[in-house]
Amino acid sequence: MNHHPKLRSGNNVDWNDPHLQSLLDKTEGWSLDNRGVFSPVPCELHVGWGAGAARSVTLVYERTGMMVIEACFIIHAGEQVRVDRMLGGTLSSSWGIVAEGRAGNRAEDLAHGIHVYWVHTR
């Protein structure tokens, strides 16, 4: 039996607080984009499990279990993909699933029809 009072974790938030609403209103149009912190790497993308034709993409961000790629074509969420790239003179392949995608927001994205995709890798 524990005689110590249970501590509540987390914080209570009053989502109707006018100060919070004012802050949220200021951030409504923000679009976060982490592509500037990673040197772009040209890659080839294969859609599906087969050995179909590769298409050129650019790897613009990577961390454990996730890649962000830019492409000039549509890739549907849920697609199985393989991303091939050269690492130290050796071909490296990463398999994953397209989790999400959207049209690019930057001026150069709009000018070149770039779409940005988040790929969860295994």
Structure tokens at 21: 């609403």
Q: What is the pTM of this model?
A: 0.70
Which residues does the chain have with pLDDT short of 70? 1-9, 29-36, 51
Neighbours of 121 (CB within 10 A): 15
Burial class of 8 by CB neighbour count within 10 A (0 to 12, 13 to 18, 19+) = exposed
Q: How many angstroms separate the CA atoms of 60 and 76, rounded? A: 19
Give me the CATH topology for the region 37-121.
Answer: Thrombin, subunit H (2.40.10)
Contact (CB, 8 A) for 45 and 71: yes
CA atoms within 13 A on the CB side of 57: 28
Q: In the prediction, which pLDDT does 45 show?
A: 96
Q: In the prediction, which pLDDT does 9 show?
A: 66
Three-class secondary structure of residue 36 per DSSP: helix
Q: In the prediction, which pLDDT does 12 show?
A: 83
Name the nearest CA neighbour of 72 among 117, 36, 119: 117
